[in-house]
Amino acid sequence: MEKAKQKRLEARGWRVGSAGTFLKLSPEEVALVEMKVNLSQALRARREARGLSQLTLAKRLRSSQSRVAKMEAADRTVSIDLLVRGLVILGAKPRDIARALGRETGAAA
Amino acid sequence: MEKAKQKRLEARGWRVGSAGTFLKLSPEEVALVEMKVNLSQALRARREARGLSQLTLAKRLRSSQSRVAKMEAADRTVSIDLLVRGLVILGAKPRDIARALGRETGAAA
DNA sequence: ATACTTTATGTCATTACTGACATAACATCA
DNA sequence: TGATGTTATGTCAGTAATGACATAAAGTAT
Q: Please, what's the b/e burial string for A22-37 (b: 16 or more CB within 10 A of its CB; e: otherwise)?
A: beebeeebbbbbbbbb
C-alpha span between B95 and B58 (Å, rounded): 23
Q: A3-102 domain in CATH 1.10.1140.10?
A: no
Does residue A32 belong to the interface with chain B, where contact is any CB pair within 8 Å?
yes
Closest of B37, B28, B26, B36 to residue B4, by C-alpha? B37
pLDDT digits (tens, 9 = 90+) for B9-58: 454 445 544 434 454 688 899 999 999 999 999 999 999 999 999 999 99
Question: Cα Rg for chain B, rounded, in angstroms?
Answer: 14
Residue nearest to nucleotide C23 (CA to C1'): A66
Across all strands, nucleotide nearest B55 (CA–C1'): C6
Domain boundaries, chain B: 26-102
Helix, strand, coil percentages in chain B from 3-state DSSP, rounded to 5: 60, 0, 40
* pLDDT tens digits along A2-21: 444 444 445 444 554 433 44
- Nearest residue (CA) to C1' of C5: B53
Among chain A residues, CA nearest to B34? A94
Q: What is the pTM of this model?
A: 0.84
CA of A44 to C1' of C24 (A): 22
Which superfamily does B26-102 belong to?
lambda repressor-like DNA-binding domains (1.10.260.40)
